[in-house]
Structure 1
Amino acid sequence: MDFNLPAEIDAIRLRTRAFIADKVLPLEVDPANYDAHENIRPDLLEQVRAKARAAGLWAPQAPRDRGGMGLPHIGWAAVYEEANRSIFGPACLNCAAPDDGNINLLARIGTEAQKRWWLDPLIAGEVRSAFAMTEPHPGGGSDPNMMLTKAERKGDNWVVSGRKWFITGAEGARHFILMARTSDDPRKGLTAFLYHADQPGWRIERRIPIMGPEEHGGHCEIVYDGLEIADENRLLNVGDGLKVTQMRLGPARLTHCMRWLGLAKRAMEIAAEYTSRREGFGIRLADRESVQIKMGELAHEIQIGRLLVMHAAWKLDQGDFARKEVSSAKVHVANTLHKAVDTAIQLNGARGYSKDTVLEWIYRYARQARLVDGADEVHKMVLARNYAAEGMDYWSWGR
């Protein structure tokens, strides 16, 4: 086993670290650099994105021949972790959700025409996108088989009716990937479609207020009432919706973890800096055993998360679906992020609870990690089912 990164990927990682430190981190300090929803101001984002392109740090996940960096999954892991040392970092490099996952999916399964229309503008950063799957009760959430949104065939088109909610990035998105029911077949009942924001027959009902902060475009409730989608804008075959969902969400869950590790490390970094200079009762906080235990636990949990993520990324690069590896990483890293920022706030005291640092921003953001792309409990069920099927082979070292 070789735990060294390939030299070319490590060089990109170090360039990413330097770019984030020099061009992105300083922007967090000024409240004027934030938009109304606590993300980087869009006009400023475009300025930083131009610098990222010039630095050769643009769209790490996208194919090289379409304008990206063409890195393997292990390269994503190394770069995304460095990018999310800043709360603005992933958006600046065009590797933030949901565009990140949509780029990866369309690059894998889109037709050439679909890539020219939907994928290329995403990679170029000219548009934003959304993935519309989750529905309000009694519709589909973690269980897509409960999906109620329907697409009914009408000649060469499909007519969509239904409702989605908590659709990340929908406000301001131009390109959408939509999951809808096309039959009652339990395994082949769903189909994936592409549509553009200018098409009639759909509307954003509301931008749902959340604890925040938010990705650009928020989290929206969408109503479909006669949206017509040409059959040529279907992804894969009719009935392949579950397959598309698995292809989209598996790697996307892992890229969340890659970014969250960067935020967890940032929280620990803020805690380390403060405890190294803050004194109480004649001793630095960093010299107190109780503080050292907390910091040691964080270092330990973060490193476990990095190993889980890199192992899952390696499996994906081997052509494996890495379902149990991704689920393990998702559960562990989501909880590690929450623990890291909670501990950092505790060690910073009132300073951590204030807006003098980004800790309170990360804290509010971190709580969603245990819910998005499958709640902890769902992923633990996945692990249990894998163990039931594999027994002692669950821990095999094989590929």
Structure 2
Amino acid sequence: MDFTISPALEDLRQRIAAFVESEVLPLESDEGAFDDHENIRLDLLDELRARARASGLWCLQLPEEDGGLGVGRTGMAVCYEEMNRSIFGPAVFNSAAPDDGNMMVLSMLGTEAQKREWLEPIRDGKVRSAFAMTEPHPGGGSDPSMIATKAVKDGEDYVISGHKWFITGAGEASHFILLARTSDDARNGLTAFLFHRDQPGWEIERRIGIMGPEEHGGHCELSFDGLRVHESRILGGLGRGLKVTQTRLGPARLTHCMRWLGLAKRSVEIASEYAARREGFGVRLADRESIQLMLGDLGMQIEIGRLLVMKAAWAIDRGEYARAEVSMAKIHVANVLHRAVDRAIQINGARGYSKDTVLEWIYRYARQARLVDGADEVHKMVINREMAARGRDFWSWRVEGAADELD
């Protein structure tokens, strides 16, 4: 297996790293750079985005024909880590959730007309977007088959009614992808619809307060009562909503992992820097075996996460859904992020618990990693289901030259 990257990709990684170092990291220590929800101020973000785009560091995730850099999932894994060395990084390069996943699914499944109307404005940074799937009980969460929001055919329109919540970015979004039930068919009963925030028949009931810092637009509760969507705004085909979710959520989960690895590495960086200069009882923290064991273990666990992510990215680049691979990466990296920042705070002591570093920000943000896009337990069930279906072949290697058997 070849883990080398091309000189062009390495050049891109270095340019992203330099941009983050000079343009983005300094803002983390400026209280005035934050908005009321502990993210980067939108006007300041727009300035940075313009500079990033002018530097050719924009929309890595899209293929060249859709206006991106076309680096593929493995290239994204390399670059997204560098972006999220800063807590503000991904948004600067238009590679933050939920726009990131929405652009990828629109690129893969949208018609040319839909790409012009719905994808291009997100790609160009003119609008933000949201993916409206999750519902309160008894509706669908990790199990899309439980989705209760309904879309009823009326002429050339569908009339939608229902309830969604924890919809990331909805408060700032203009373009929405909405999953609703168009029939009771177990496999083909869901459909994905595209709608604009200015359409009547829906509202944001509230922005749900959360423990950690928030993405722009927060996490909102939405109600639908007569939203009309023309049939031309169906994404991926009638009754193909499950395919839309599979197409979107697999890569989107993986990009979360790519970004989280960047935050885990940043946590270790802050801990290592402090341990190298802090002394207690005549000994540097970095010279204490207990600290060396902590940091060494984190280095190994982060590297395991990087390998899991890269294998899943490689499989997706080959056309696979890579369900088990993505689930393994999601579980491991989510837990590594939490462990890394927790130990970094422990090494930094009161300094780590204070706002003198970004560790407390990362710590509060990290707890959601084990929940978003499927809880740990759900992903372990996915892995077990794949094991049961494939038997001993679950651990097989791909053979060069053999016929591909993709998902």
- TM-fit CA distance, 1:72: 0.7
- TM-fit CA distance, 1:275: 0.4
Does 1:185 pair with 2:185?
yes
Q: How many equivalent pairs are there? A: 399
Q: Contact conserved, 2:52 with 2:93, CA < 8 A, in 1? A: yes
Residue by residue, what CA displacement relative to the aligned partner does 1:271-305 show, whole Å, maximum 9, x if unpaired?
00000000000000000000000000100000000
* Matched ranges for 1:153-192 at <5 A: 153-192=153-192
**Structure 2 residue aligned with 1:261:** 261
**Structure 1 residue aligned with 2:74:** 74
Gaps of at least 5 residues in structure 2 are: 400-407
- TM-fit CA distance, 1:188: 0.8
Give the AA of the match of 1:148: A
**Structure 2 residue aligned with 1:140:** 140
- TM-fit CA distance, 1:65: 3.2
Residue by residue, what CA displacement relative to the aligned partner does 1:184-214 show, whole Å, maximum 9, x if unpaired?
1111110000000010000000000001200
Tell me how far apart the structure 2 counterparts of residues 5 and 329 of structure 1 sit (CA, whole Å): 20
Give the AA of the match of 1:222: L
Aligned Cα root-mean-square deviation (Å)? 0.7
Give the AA of the match of 2:262: G
Taking structure 1 as the reference length, what is the TM-score of the superposition? 0.99
Does 1:44 pair with 2:37?
no
**Structure 1 residue aligned with 2:252:** 252
**Structure 2 residue aligned with 1:209:** 209
Tell me how far apart the structure 2 counterparts of residues 158 and 379 of structure 1 sit (CA, whole Å): 33
Tell me how far apart the structure 1 counterparts of residues 212 and 222 of structure 2 sit (CA, whole Å): 19
Taking structure 2 as the reference length, what is the TM-score of the superposition? 0.97
Tell me how far apart the structure 2 counterparts of residues 67 and 382 of structure 1 sit (CA, whole Å): 34
Q: Contact conserved, 2:176 with 2:194, CA < 8 A, in 1? A: yes
Tell me how far apart the structure 1 counterparts of residues 78 and 8 of structure 2 sit (CA, whole Å): 11
**Structure 2 residue aligned with 1:96:** 96
SS at match of 2:15: helix
SS at match of 2:159: strand
Tell me how far apart the structure 1 counterparts of residues 371 and 7 of structure 2 sit (CA, whole Å): 36
Percentage identity across paired residues of the two chains:
67
- TM-fit CA distance, 1:253: 0.2
Tell me how far apart the structure 1 counterparts of residues 214 and 236 of structure 2 sit (CA, whole Å): 31
**Structure 2 residue aligned with 1:235:** 235
**Structure 1 residue aligned with 2:391:** 391
Tell me how far apart the structure 1 counterparts of residues 172 and 369 of structure 2 sit (CA, whole Å): 23
Tell me how far apart the structure 1 counterparts of residues 305 and 290 of structure 2 sit (CA, whole Å): 23
Residue by residue, what CA displacement relative to the aligned partner does 1:132-160 show, whole Å, maximum 9, x if unpaired?
00000010000111111000000000000
Residue by residue, what CA displacement relative to the aligned partner does 1:292-346 show, whole Å, maximum 9, x if unpaired?
0000010000000000001110111111111110000000000000000000000
- TM-fit CA distance, 1:83: 0.1
Q: Contact conserved, 2:66 with 2:107, CA < 8 A, in 1? A: no
**Structure 2 residue aligned with 1:128:** 128
- TM-fit CA distance, 1:5: 1.1
Give the AA of the match of 1:292: Q
* Matched ranges for 1:282-293 at <5 A: 282-293=282-293
Does 1:327 pair with 2:327?
yes
Tell me how far apart the structure 2 counterparts of residues 6 and 377 of structure 1 sit (CA, whole Å): 37
* Matched ranges for 1:220-369 at <5 A: 220-369=220-369
SS at match of 1:69: coil
**Structure 1 residue aligned with 2:200:** 200
Give the AA of the match of 1:325: E
Tell me how far apart the structure 2 counterparts of residues 253 and 6 of structure 1 sit (CA, whole Å): 25
Tell me how far apart the structure 2 counterparts of residues 57 and 371 of structure 1 sit (CA, whole Å): 30
Tell me how far apart the structure 2 counterparts of residues 397 and 15 of structure 1 sit (CA, whole Å): 35
Gaps of at least 5 residues in structure 1 are: none
Give the AA of the match of 1:271: A
Residue by residue, what CA displacement relative to the aligned partner does 1:69-114 show, whole Å, maximum 9, x if unpaired?
1211111101101000000000000000000000000001101111
- TM-fit CA distance, 1:30: 0.3
Tell me how far apart the structure 1 counterparts of residues 60 and 330 of structure 2 sit (CA, whole Å): 21
Tell me how far apart the structure 2 counterparts of residues 365 and 260 of structure 1 sit (CA, whole Å): 10
Tell me how far apart the structure 1 counterparts of residues 56 and 236 of structure 2 sit (CA, whole Å): 32
